[in-house]
Amino acid sequence: MSNKGRFLATDKIPGLLKRLGGTYRVFAPVKVSDTVILFHEFKEGAQLALNKQATLPPKEILFPQTECLLSYTYHKDPENLEKSEVQVEETLEALPTIIFGARPCDARGLMVFDAVFNDGQWRDPYYKARRKATTIVTILCTQPENTCFCTSVGGGPTNTEGSDLVLTPVTGGYFAEPATEKGGALLQDEAFALGHNKADEAREEREKVSLESELELDGIAQCLLELFSTDFWKQVSAKCISCGACTYVCPTCYCFNITDETAGVKGERIRTWDSCMFYQYTLEASGHNPRPTKVERYRNRIGHKFSYHPTNYEGMFGCTGCGRCIKACPVSLDIRQVLREVKVHG
Amino acid sequence: MEAIGKLREDIQKELEDVEFIIGWEQGFDALHATPLFIRSQEDIDRLIWNPLCVHNLASYLPQLKGRKVGVLLKGCDSRSVIQLLQEGLIQREEIVIFGISCPGVVDLSKIRARMNVSQVKRVSFAEGNVTIETPQGREEFPLDEVLATKCLSCQYPTPLIYDHLAGEALSPQRPADLLYKEVEEIEKLDVKERLAHWERELNRCIRCYACRNACPLCVCQDYCAADSRNPHWLSQRAGIGEKVMWHIMHALHVAGRCTDCGECERACPMDIPIQRIRKKINKEIKALFDYEAGVNTEDTPPLYTFQMEESTIREKDW
């Protein structure tokens, strides 16, 4: 990293976020209950929770759970009441935004989104505009959790890919280093002090982090294809209860549904998160469903992340190893164990 | 003999006659158990039984109707089976029940609220205490402080229905009058405050439907009105209105059927205290119909019947 680092004392953070709030929408992890940490728009007095992974990743800021794509109104022709015209209004909103306190796995999750919505064959104007307007400030992980496996899927606790400004925890605060120009611009704020004496500590902190790459995933895309039509999926999905918790807490799951919701002569076309764990996910208009039970649905989840996605997007897994799916699963189904078994049986 | 030894022995006896037997094994760390589908002797060796075995395994049964399986049940879980039998959603002859007398299970969210559990190495239970070891050190506290709230007023520590029983039958040790304690706290609030309370709690609902899918009595599952697109009963939006509506729907759907197993709340990844909503309805059902769900296979849930004159409701006196 560069030698342009600055020191950000912990007690300067609320002031910094407040000042940034004058120019940007600022989201930061906030404790909302005894156990839940969410990225909320920062307000003075909010209880920041920067030393733990947030319960949900910040994906909702760029890819809201519900988003209005357009609104429409029908106008009847007074001359001929059987005729009506529809007036459509675009509702794209992309305000300058800062995500403060993401984790390396969260930042990497947005790189998975970029490949799908920003850089690929189809470009999503809504995501694209928001992504451009967003600056990501990441806190490196000096204490990974026992559900973390980012190093197994190409990331790492001190990985800076996808971040604009990178914070390393040091005594009394964070050592901040820019990763992009956008991130560097934030360092102009008065909260950042000269930090020469903190650079070495930050480097040592990063070097101390140990998270072994525990999964051997070479060739897994092919193993998954070979297992496609086998009873393997019945065995590994037996305990799954087919809820959508794993997909909704996942920083890379991006499947969506589009619905027109009309009331009277007005309506909105909304996009909402979908989940491959739900029956309606691939239900066809004919009534046929190619993924009728949890067995096929669970196969889809693993297959998408570790076979179809890397095949379509230059080897990048649709998983950043954040471990939230393991923590959120009501039956503690461990995706790492499933991947190990795929390698054994595939 | 210890309960686990008896369980292993009974399971071994029955294993040949069933497709599998559902129990628990150690999960991804020392603090988590996970359901285990026992098909072989090797699986039996992996079986565990301790206060971390929180899951109500009866939730799997409705979808296994038509197949002969075995299941391990705690006292509270056995009420789910009784309720499912009452409604004809499972068949008694298709299920071998291994009942376990249970002194209580933990609520992991209570542990998460009091300590950092991201690197748990070892958990042990002794003399009413739980000890949790992490790289930061050891923490020991009374088990009662982290037991699931349902356990603190448990009246059914011994299963009400079983083919095999592990452990000595226990009589209720807990005061029944604690059952509605949390509900009574909320009832003290005026209507506006109550709405504000629930909007604050439910606002973090992500509509993932873990509460629905973990519920042993939510048998509609794939055909749930909440996410049906045709007809489109409920907006796909994720605003507070839809969240509140979903939870009211779920609670009303299990009214008079809910056995207070708490799986809805336990499964919630956002730790929303939704069991209280069902509990409130259970309290009203008890007051109106003098009925408790899942204690007698011969009962009919009150909302499954219609009588011109309900014996417990004095309509004429109003």
Q: Which of A52, A280, A332 sits opposite B227 (nearest CB)?
A: A280
pLDDT, mean of residues B179-191: 95
Confidence at residue B11, expressed as pLDDT on a 0 to 100 scale: 98
**B118–A143 CB contact, under 8 Å:** yes
Reply yes or no on whether the pLDDT at B311 is more than 90: no
Reply yes or no on whether the pLDDT at B75 is more than 90: yes
Confidence at residue B317, expressed as pLDDT on a 0 to 100 scale: 67
**Which chain B positions have a beta carbon within 8 Å of A275's beta carbon?**
208
Does the CB of B230 have a partner CB in chain A at under 8 Å? Answer: no
Q: Place A323 in a pLDDT band, splitting at 50, 70 and 90.
A: very high
Residue from A32, A243, A284 to probe the interface with B (highest B Cβ count within 10 Å) = A243
Q: Place B1 in a pLDDT band, splitting at 50, 70 and 90.
A: low
For B210-240, give one letter per residue: b (16+ CB within 10 A) or e: bbbbbbbbbbebbebebbeeeeeebbbbbee
Does the CB of B28 have a partner CB in chain A at under 8 Å? Answer: yes
pLDDT, mean of residues B4-22: 97
Walk across the sheet containing A66-77 and list its strands: A80-90, A66-77, A266-273, A256-263
Confidence at residue B240, expressed as pLDDT on a 0 to 100 scale: 95
pLDDT, mean of residues B237-259: 94
Reply yes or no on whether the pLDDT at A246 is more than 60: yes
Q: Is the peptide bond before B231 cis (omega within 30 degrees of 0)?
A: yes
Reply yes or no on whether the pLDDT at B290 is more than 80: yes
The percent of residues in chain B predicted with pLDDT above 70, rounded, is 99
Reply yes or no on whether the pLDDT at A338 is more than 90: yes
Structure tokens at A116: 């799908």
**A330–B221 CB contact, under 8 Å:** no
pLDDT, mean of residues A236-241: 97
Say if CB B32 and CB B52 are below 8 A apart: yes
* Of the listed ranges A283-287, B231-235, B306-310, the one predicted with least confidence: B306-310
Q: Cα–Cα–Cα angle for B182, B185, B186, nearest 5°?
A: 95
Q: Which of B109, B210, B236 sits opposite A272 (nearest CB)?
A: B236
Structure tokens at B232: 């489109």
Does the CB of B173 have a partner CB in chain A at under 8 Å? Answer: no
**Which chain B positions have a beta carbon within 8 Å of A33's beta carbon?**
201, 204, 271
- List, as ranges, residues 67-96 from B with C-beta within 8 Å of A: none
- List, as ranges, residues 132-171 from B with C-beta within 8 Å of A: none
Query: Rounded CA gap, B216 and B296, in Å?
Result: 17
SS (H, E, C) chain A: CCCCCEEEEHHHHHHHHHHHCCCCEEEEEEECCCCCEEEEECCCCCCECCCCCCCCCCHHHHCCCEEEEEEEEEEEECCEEEEEEEEEEECCCCCCEEEEEECHHHHHHHHHHHHHHHCCCCCCHHHHHHHHCEEEEEECCCCCCCCCCHHHHCCCCCCCCCCCEEEEEECCEEEEEECCHHHHHHCCCCCEEECHHHHHHHHHHHHHCCCCCCCCCCCHHHHHHHHCCCCHHHHHHCCCCCCCHHHHCCCCCCCEEEEEEEECCEEEEEEEECCCCCHHHHCCCCCCCCCCCHHHHHHHHHHHHHHHHHHHCCCCCCCCCCCHHHHHCCCCCCHHHHHHHHHHHC
Reply yes or no on whether the pLDDT at A2 is more than 60: no
**Chain-wide mean pLDDT for chain B?**
95
Confidence at residue A3, expressed as pLDDT on a 0 to 100 scale: 59
**A279–B222 CB contact, under 8 Å:** yes
**B238–A249 CB contact, under 8 Å:** no
Q: Closest residue of A to B229, CA-based? A: A280
Task: Compute the nearest-CA separation of A242 from chain B (Å).
Answer: 7
Q: Closest residue of B to A275, CA-based? A: B208
Q: Which of A146, A243, A327 sits opposite B209 (nearest CB)?
A: A243
What pTM was estimated for this model as a whole?
0.95
**Which chain A positions have a beta carbon within 8 Å of B57's beta carbon?**
none
Reply yes or no on whether the pLDDT at A61 is more than 90: yes
Task: Compute the nearest-CA separation of A130 from chain B (Å).
Answer: 20
**B37–A239 CB contact, under 8 Å:** yes
Residue among A208, A185, A71, A170 at smallest CA distance from A136: A185
**Which chain A positions have a beta carbon within 8 Å of B112's beta carbon?**
34-35
**Which chain A positions have a beta carbon within 8 Å of B65's beta carbon?**
none
Task: Compute the nearest-CA separation of B308 from chain A (Å).
Answer: 39
Per residue in A62-100, pLDDT (tens digit) is 999 999 999 999 999 889 988 999 999 988 889 999 999
- List, as ranges, residues 207-226 from B with C-beta within 8 Å of A: 207-210, 212-214, 221-223
Q: Place A127 in a pLDDT band, splitting at 50, 70 and 90.
A: very high
Query: Rounded CA gap, A98 and A27, in Å?
Result: 6
Cβ atoms within 10 Å of A291's Cβ, excluding its own: 18
More confident residue, B115 or B233: B115
